[in-house]
Structure 1
Amino acid sequence: MKQHQTNSNKVFAYLKNGIKQKVKTQKLPLVTFFLFIIVFICSFLWSNGPLPNVTVDYNLAKEEMYHCTLHRIIDGDTVVANCPLKNPKLVNIRIWGMDAPETNQIPWGEKATNALNRIFLMNKHDIITILIRDIDQYNRYVGQIFINNKEIDVGLQMVSEGFAVVYKQYNNDPQYLYHEDLAKSHKKGIWQHPGPQQNPAAWRKVNPF
């Protein structure tokens, strides 16, 4: 973010100085000069990628169910979906009820992401059902995701396979807690060895993004 802002400041300073020079010398017609500016800005944005933190101005209602399609998986507990089917737009969905190791928690973050990929690939997920629960501090929708006509709760499946913990701050569902205890007792996934992967929230506090 900081590097992107520095580059942007340099570009706009350059343009500002350029405008002053062209106005003084009047060597270029006004239309030609502004065309030059537009091309320069487009070239800059193309080489540096889209601006960060771009959000979609689209509202999904809390406690409502939506039929969507999966666009891509970001990490072990976040996906991008097209919602709803009738008027699809890209939205970030933080999976409700569970917390997976972060990508930088090597190798557990990658393992959690792979596990989430596998859950979607092993089941029919052309259409997924999302129950919107909340909106988090990063402006992501928090949703409970179901596949196979609501037969499989994706978050619960991640907990059951041992690649996520129950996010007890927001979820006290007995079924989730039961399956977490089973995963612990069978030493599945993150429960194979003690470590910070067993408490991603605590790890984030000492390893801020």
Structure 2
Amino acid sequence: MLYRLFAIALCVLLASCQKPEMPQGTIAKVERILSGQTIEVISTADKIALLEQIRLIGIDAPDFQQQPWGEAAKQRLEQLIGGKQVLLESDIAEKDQSDRKLAYLWQDGILLNEQLVKEGYVLASGRSRNTKYQQRLLNAQEWARLMNKGLWNPERALRQTPAEFRQQNQQK
């Protein structure tokens, strides 16, 4: 118990010592939530309305077949941003292999990628070159794990990472 309290205090201290980032990016209206890590937005680049798929950087949401977690992640993201405007901040790689735009999502000064990790709806994933907020995401994941949040709850824990689940189910 003492270790857990120390770890939580350390996470809070580390997070509070970081200089707050002022995100730069483009504003877009959220049109639809596709999963806990993918959304569609309407952006008005060059005064033309475009529907774009956006994959959230640095997170990995459970597959819909990983119930209840896949649907829960989608629903939580819907609660946070459904139909609202968000700031899309890019990093080094702008698109993924599926040609989706990659972005960090911000709303009212909150990094939503981090919020989903902190609440235990998704996992932090450092599989890309986009690492601007990787340490923040890892700190949020450690906090969620120590606090037994969401998919870290031992009574209803996620048994396989989304990547492990997808790999296992592709082989069948």
TM-score (norm 1): 0.61
- Within 1, Cα distance between the matches of 2:141 and 2:134? 11
Shift of 1:107: 1.3
Q: Is the 8 A contact 1:66 1:84 kept in 2?
A: no
Partner residue of 1:196?
A: 159
Counterpart pick for 1:118 among 51, 60, 79: 79
Query: Runs of at least 4 residues of structure 1 off by over 4 A?
Result: none
**For structure 1, which runs of at least 5 residues remain unmatched after alignment?**
1-63
Aligned to 2:95: 135
Deviation, 1:104, is 1.6
Asked whether the 8 Å contact 2:69–2:158 carries over to 1, the reply is no
Q: How many residues align?
A: 140
1:78 equivalent in alignment to 2:78: no
Q: Which runs of 5+ in 2 are unaligned?
A: 1-23
Q: Distance in 1 between matches of 2:152 and 2:59?
A: 15
Render the CA deviation track for 1:173-203: whole Å, top value 9, x for unaligned. Answer: 2211111101001111111134335x11121
> d(CA) in 1 for partners of 2:29 and 2:48?
12
RMSD: 2.0
More helix by share: 1
Maintained 8 Å contact 1:101/1:164: yes
Offset at residue 84 of structure 1 (A):
2.9
- Residues 54-99 of structure 1, C-alpha deviations (whole Å, 9 max, x = no match): xxxxxxxxxx721110001001110000013632200000011111
> How many Å separate the matches in 2 of 1:126 and 1:75?
16
Query: Post-superposition shift, 1:164?
Result: 0.7
AA aligned to 1:207 is: N
Alpha-carbon distance, 1:147 to partner: 1.1
Q: Tell me what 2:70 maps to.
A: 109
Deviations along 1:111-131, one digit per CA (max 9) or x if unpaired, are 11111112226xxx7321102
**Structure with greater contact order relative to length (CA < 8 Å, sep ≥ 6):** 2
Tell me, yes or no, if the aligned pair for 1:129 and 1:146 is still in contact at 8 Å. Answer: yes
1:181 aligns with 2:139: no
Q: Aligned AA for 1:190?
A: L
Once the two structures are aligned, what percentage of the paired residues are identical? 26
Which SS does the other structure have where 1:84 is aligned? Answer: strand
Contact 1:158 1:164 in 2 (8 A): yes
